[in-house]
Amino acid sequence: MERNVIVGQSGGPTAAINSSLAGVYRTAKDRGAKKVYGMLHGIQGLLQESYIDLSDHIKTKLDEELLKRTPAAFLGSCRYKLPAIHENKDVYEKIFAILDKLDIEAFIYIGGNDSMDTIKKLSDYAIITGHPCRFIGTPKTIDNDLPLTDHTPGFGSAAKYIGTSMKEIIRDGFCLDYGHGLVTIVEVMGRNAGWLTGATALSKGEDCEGPDLIYLPEIAFDLKKFMKKVKKLLEIKTSIMVVVSEGIKTTDGTYVCELAKPIDFVDGFGHKQLTGTASYLATYVANELGCKTRAIELSTLQRSASHLASRVDILEATQAGGAAVMAADEGDSGKMVVLERISDDPYQCGTSIRDVHKIANGEKLVPREWINKEGDYVTDEFIAHVLPLIQGDVSPIMVDGIPRHLLTPKELSHRS
Amino acid sequence: MERNVIVGQSGGPTAAINSSLAGVYRTAKDRGAKKVYGMLHGIQGLLQESYIDLSDHIKTKLDEELLKRTPAAFLGSCRYKLPAIHENKDVYEKIFAILDKLDIEAFIYIGGNDSMDTIKKLSDYAIITGHPCRFIGTPKTIDNDLPLTDHTPGFGSAAKYIGTSMKEIIRDGFCLDYGHGLVTIVEVMGRNAGWLTGATALSKGEDCEGPDLIYLPEIAFDLKKFMKKVKKLLEIKTSIMVVVSEGIKTTDGTYVCELAKPIDFVDGFGHKQLTGTASYLATYVANELGCKTRAIELSTLQRSASHLASRVDILEATQAGGAAVMAADEGDSGKMVVLERISDDPYQCGTSIRDVHKIANGEKLVPREWINKEGDYVTDEFIAHVLPLIQGDVSPIMVDGIPRHLLTPKELSHRS
């Protein structure tokens, strides 16, 4: 590389998104990039010329290691949807003027479905106008719902945290004895795709029974059938563990969490904010069956728990960041890096690139055959697919008993 | 020791309660106890002659290590309050008949305030009837609210988890940009004592700002003053972190969570089940200030996250279990083991025993001088007191990417 690189982060945070950033930085530097800029709050920040020189923040190899262990987007994230090119050319002209001013040859965007829409539009605009800048996406989402890639960086760490926490919650449930039984409803992220919800089954093993019922958003939720199952389970167990995706819907398409109260918050991409599914079902079960219930939302913790990151995930996220820079350096544009599983045993995975037009706004759900017939558990094939992705640990760098992170530009600005 | 020991666990689970169990087992065996029995679900189970021989479950040194890494009461817990001796002698006669049948010379109970009531009553009964069995309590509670002991086993691990999770949540909050600001309300356990709520301040350091406001249950919660502070903070920061104890009350003594809906579940000791404080405040702030808000309950995870246990805590919990057996072996009864801090720098802590009559049903709150004047943060003295208790790690024994636990007797029974 002979000129500069700019990198941004977009969409929901993960425990691995900064490893991709570290990968972009390292490979860009190794390939001769003069400067590596970071957009603050993605494309939205760039439009306001809000960016940093990453070398001012990553000064040592230790900083790079700390960055990999820092959860949530180091540069700040956004949920900004670019207008269609024919709707508003001004926005594109502004962006490209900034890119020219910064002498950018490669634009790397780390994000999920929605973020790949940004790469698609910018690379289209570059083709239309004959601009030489290259645009490459790096996948990132705990939801694991991007098409064409075997899995997404960020998913493995979230799955490891979810499997571990699930096991600890199961243990907690069994040790109590409430007479009429205890039903715990655990709510997991994943609007349409049940990858994370299914990952609770990773808790199952020689030392743990795992959850009793797992409801993925891919299958319509039948409240009557569910109540029947819980009632039957309560006859044989004192503690029942039910896992639900935040996005489960009844057969008529209503979100279960909407049964309790209407949803009033909708984000920039038109997505409803889902929450309250576990709480609704816990109250419902308590009223119907007269047993003790509790609702647990894994909430934000499941996407930001870098203290329990998967080593495979962190390595792959770094690798994906580096591969994006390599692709741009070799002349590609309008592409997203994908992970390609080469073999299962031993697990081996490489990177490749695919046309971002085939990915943006698409969604990969859990295949029907990886959910059991009854629609209330994942199959052994699901577990075999996910298991390699949660292997190995990344020891946190502990200072005074708490994991150390790299201070973000935003927090740094609060201090000055 | 020449005869047998019986041990039980009672009250809310912690990440360290099984380390105390391991300590009891190891010291009893080392001191010559023939058998070490475990009551299943504490005194409630014992009354139904439900117990195990611990040697059937702890067969190897590896099992002992796994036990220390297993969260929540391995033997099962209970919340059973013994009647006063004059109210119901039959219960006592039944318990002592079972103890005689099992040839018990020492009865060890691992628990919190309520559980020490059990030790007090049983030892009183033994004195009245001239029974030779000895009764010793081992402290356990994440709440850290037992009198006379410097701190309680279980607290350090919960504090470490809470400090770490808080930091990850703060990072998550800063990376998003919602325009009108984001207010996150994090709800932490601790009905009357704010030790755990204050532990969120452990997230503060060179790399993290820590929470903005911390409301402990020791101080009456002033909603108006709170709203004023949040409004002011929103003028200078995009992401505000507020921590509240589940037990904060308004000046007239109403739990904040009761402002949303009446509480309908009360446990065996007459305690109201508190939940929904964060959710109530998040809705309130959103309605009043028109900003995005979110509520996060650390819930069960904060008491069962053994994957992030504190080494100091696990060692002290083990030591406290052993000290209970030693005390009984040396002829003491009606006592609880306490932790005595010998020095702060370097941190040194030993065990001693105290009269359980001075502990049972008592409560140690955070001293007023360790909370700031405004009543919305903890002081440096608070942090200096807690910091030594979260030091060091206990590496989980990872199998297939997930921490391995020791299979509990209850789960074992499900398999046969």
Q: Where are the domains of chain A?
A: 4-154+308-360, 156-304
Q: Is residue A137 predicted with pLDDT exceeding 80?
A: yes
Dihedral sign, Cα of residue B200, residue B203, residue B205, residue B209 = negative
Facing A172 at nearest CB: one of B71, B164, B237: B71
Helix/strand/coil for B379: coil
Helix extents (H) in B221-310:
223-236, 277-289, 301-304
Taking the C-alpha atoms of residue A105 and residue A100, their distance in angstroms, rounded to an integer, is: 9
Helix extents (H) in B143-222:
155-175, 195-198
Taking the C-alpha atoms of residue A318 and residue A313, their distance in angstroms, rounded to an integer, is: 9
Contact B250, B282 (CB under 8 A): no
Nearest chain B residue to A13, by CA: B172
Reported as a single tens digit per residue, the pLDDT across A169-210 is 999 999 887 777 999 999 999 999 999 999 999 999 999 999
B4 residue type, one letter: N
Q: Do A72 and B174 touch (CB under 8 A)?
A: yes
Facing A209 at nearest CB: one of B160, B392, B411: B411
Q: Is residue A62 predicted with pLDDT exceeding 80?
A: yes
> Which of A179, A211, A186 minimizes the C-alpha distance to A291?
A179
Identify the DSSP state of B187: E
| DSSP β-ladder status, B335-344 and B347-355 | antiparallel
Q: Do A401 and B387 touch (CB under 8 A)?
A: yes
Q: Residue B176's pLDDT is what? A: 83
Taking the C-alpha atoms of residue A217 and residue A255, their distance in angstroms, rounded to an integer, is: 10
Angle between helices B61-68 and B17-30 (to 10 degrees): 150
**Contacts of residue B410 in chain A, CB cutoff 8 Å?**
174, 238
More confident residue, A100 or A360: A100
Facing B306 at nearest CB: one of A72, A168, A205: A168
Q: How close B331 gets to chain A, by Cα (Å)? A: 31
To test the contact with chain B by mutation, choose from A171, A345, A347, A414 the residue with the greatest count of B C-beta atoms within 10 A, namely A171
| DSSP β-ladder status, B335-344 and B292-297 | unpaired
Q: Residue B113's pLDDT is what? A: 84
**Contacts of residue B72 in chain A, CB cutoff 8 Å?**
168, 171-172, 174-175
Q: Do A167 and B405 touch (CB under 8 A)?
A: yes
Facing A172 at nearest CB: one of B163, B237, B304: B304
Q: Do B77 and A160 touch (CB under 8 A)?
A: no
Facing A176 at nearest CB: one of B77, B177, B391: B77
ipTM over 0.90: yes
**Contacts of residue B398 in chain A, CB cutoff 8 Å?**
393
CATH domain B4-154+308-361+391-403 topology: Rossmann fold (3.40.50)
As a whole number, the mean pLDDT across chain A is: 94
Q: Do B13 and A169 touch (CB under 8 A)?
A: no
Identify the DSSP state of A192: S
Nearest chain B residue to A311, by CA: B401
> Which of B38, B7, B39 minimizes the C-alpha distance to B328?
B7
Q: Residue B411's pLDDT is what? A: 87
Q: Do A407 and B206 touch (CB under 8 A)?
A: yes
To test the contact with chain B by mutation, choose from A177, A186, A200, A387 the residue with the greatest count of B C-beta atoms within 10 A, namely A177
CATH number corresponding to A156-304: 3.40.50.460
Q: How close B341 gets to chain A, by Cα (Å)? A: 19
Q: Where are the beta strands (DSSP E) in A133-216?
A: 134-139, 182-188, 213-215
Q: What percent of chain A has pLDDT over 90?
A: 88
Q: Residue A272's pLDDT is what? A: 59
Chains A, B: CB contacts within 8 A come to 205
Q: Listing from the earlier edge strand, what are the strands of the sheet with B182-188?
A: B213-215, B239-245, B182-188, B292-297
To test the contact with chain B by mutation, choose from A74, A175, A183, A271 the residue with the greatest count of B C-beta atoms within 10 A, namely A175
Facing B168 at nearest CB: one of A41, A298, A306: A306
Q: How far is CA A294 from the centre of its chain?
A: 26
Contact A85, A124 (CB under 8 A): yes
Instruction: Return the C-alpha torsion angle A90, A92, A93, A94, nearest 10.
Output: 90
Helix/strand/coil for B261: coil
Taking the C-alpha atoms of residue A187 and residue A174, their distance in angstroms, rounded to an integer, is: 19
Q: Residue A261's pLDDT is what? A: 66
Peptide bond into A139 cis (omega under 30): no
Residue with structure tokens 């020689």? Answer: A206
Helix/strand/coil for A2: coil
- Determine whether B110 is exposed, middle or buried from the number of CB atoms within 10 Å of its CB (0-12, 13-18, 19+): buried
Residue with structure tokens 């770094």? Answer: A318
Residues 6+ apart with CB under 8 A from B12: B77, B112, B141, B142, B143, B303
> Which of A258, A244, A221 minimizes the C-alpha distance to A293?
A244
Q: How confident is the model at residue A263 (pLDDT cuts 50, 70, 90)?
A: low
Identify the DSSP state of A370: G
Q: How close B130 gets to chain A, by Cα (Å)? A: 33
More confident residue, B102 or A80: B102
**Contacts of residue B390 in chain A, CB cutoff 8 Å?**
400-402
Identify the DSSP state of A271: -
Q: Is residue A151 predicted with pLDDT exceeding 70?
A: yes
Q: Residue B361's pLDDT is what? A: 72
Contact B199, B163 (CB under 8 A): yes
**Catalytic residue IDs of A:** 143
To test the contact with chain B by mutation, choose from A168, A183, A292 the residue with the greatest count of B C-beta atoms within 10 A, namely A168
Q: Do B72 and A174 touch (CB under 8 A)?
A: yes
**Contacts of residue B70 in chain A, CB cutoff 8 Å?**
171
Residues 6+ apart with CB under 8 A from A413: none
> Which of A299, A312, A396, A386 minimizes the C-alpha distance to A349?
A312
> Which of B152, B120, B97, B111 minimizes the C-alpha distance to B13?
B111
> Which of A75, A81, A163, A164 minimizes the C-alpha distance to A115?
A81
Q: Do A176 and B390 touch (CB under 8 A)?
A: no
Q: Which phi and psi (to 5°) does residue A324 adopt?
A: -65, -45
Q: How close B73 gets to chain A, by Cα (Å)? A: 5
Q: How far is CA B183 from the centre of its chain?
A: 28
Q: How close B405 gets to chain A, by Cα (Å)? A: 6
Query: The CATH number of B157-304 is which of 2.40.160.10, 3.40.50.300, 3.40.50.460, 3.40.50.11740?
Result: 3.40.50.460
**What is chain B's pLDDT, residue by residue, as a tens digit (416 residues)?**
999 999 999 999 999 999 999 999 999 999 999 999 999 999 999 999 999 999 999 999 999 999 999 999 999 999 899 999 999 999 999 999 999 999 999 999 999 888 999 999 999 999 999 999 999 999 999 999 999 999 999 999 999 999 999 999 999 999 887 777 999 999 999 989 999 999 999 999 999 999 999 999 999 999 999 999 999 999 999 999 999 999 999 999 999 988 876 655 554 555 556 678 999 999 999 999 999 999 999 999 999 999 999 999 999 999 999 999 999 999 999 999 999 999 998 999 999 999 999 886 779 999 999 999 999 999 999 999 999 999 999 999 999 999 999 999 988 888 87
Contact B127, B167 (CB under 8 A): no
Helix/strand/coil for A188: strand
Helix extents (H) in A221-269:
223-234, 256-260
Q: Do A72 and B404 touch (CB under 8 A)?
A: no
Residue with structure tokens 């943060």? Answer: B377
Q: Is residue A270 predicted with pLDDT exceeding 70?
A: no
Q: Residue B270's pLDDT is what? A: 54
Buried b or exposed e, range A148-163, using 16+ CB within 10 angstroms:
bbbbbbbbbbbbbbbb
Facing B78 at nearest CB: one of A177, A209, A407: A177
Buried b or exposed e, range B62-71, using 16+ CB within 10 angstroms:
ebbebbbbbb
**Contacts of residue B405 in chain A, CB cutoff 8 Å?**
167, 171, 207-208
Q: Which phi and psi (to 5°) does residue B156 adopt?
A: -60, -45
Taking the C-alpha atoms of residue A64 and residue A67, their distance in angstroms, rounded to an integer, is: 5
Q: Is residue A129 predicted with pLDDT exceeding 90?
A: yes
Q: How close B176 gets to chain A, by Cα (Å)? A: 5
pTM (two decimals): 0.96
> Which of A118, A149, A156, A190 minimizes the C-alpha distance to A17?
A156
Nearest chain B residue to A40, by CA: B175
Facing B411 at nearest CB: one of A172, A174, A176: A174
Q: Which two tokens stand for residue A368?
A: 């029907």
Q: How confident is the model at residue A262 (pLDDT cuts 50, 70, 90)?
A: low
Q: How close B361 gets to chain A, by Cα (Å)? A: 21
Q: Is residue A29 predicted with pLDDT exceeding 60?
A: yes
CATH domain A4-154+308-360 topology: Rossmann fold (3.40.50)
Peptide bond into A13 cis (omega under 30): no
For B239, how many CA atoms within 13 A lie in the half-sphere containing its CB?
Answer: 22
Q: How confident is the model at residue A53 (pLDDT cuts 50, 70, 90)?
A: very high
Q: How far is CA A1 from the centre of its chain?
A: 30
Q: Residue B158's pLDDT is what? A: 98
Q: Do A73 and B175 touch (CB under 8 A)?
A: yes
Q: Residue A273's pLDDT is what? A: 61
| DSSP β-ladder status, A402-403 and B4-9 | unpaired
> H or E stretch including A136?
strand A134-139
Q: Do A208 and B407 touch (CB under 8 A)?
A: yes
A157 residue type, one letter: S
Facing B307 at nearest CB: one of A73, A164, A411: A164
Q: How close A142 gets to chain B, by Cα (Å)? A: 14
Instruction: Return the C-alpha torsion angle B150, B153, B159, B165, nearest 10.
Output: 180
Q: Do A172 and B72 touch (CB under 8 A)?
A: yes
Q: Residue B260's pLDDT is what? A: 74
Taking the C-alpha atoms of residue A244 and residue A221, their distance in angstroms, rounded to an integer, is: 10
To test the contact with chain B by mutation, choose from A44, A63, A70, A172 the residue with the greatest count of B C-beta atoms within 10 A, namely A172
**Contacts of residue B233 in chain A, CB cutoff 8 Å?**
none
- Fold match flag (A4-154+308-360 vs A156-304): yes
**Catalytic residue IDs of B:** 143
Residues 6+ apart with CB under 8 A from A33: A1, A3, A4, A5, A106, A325
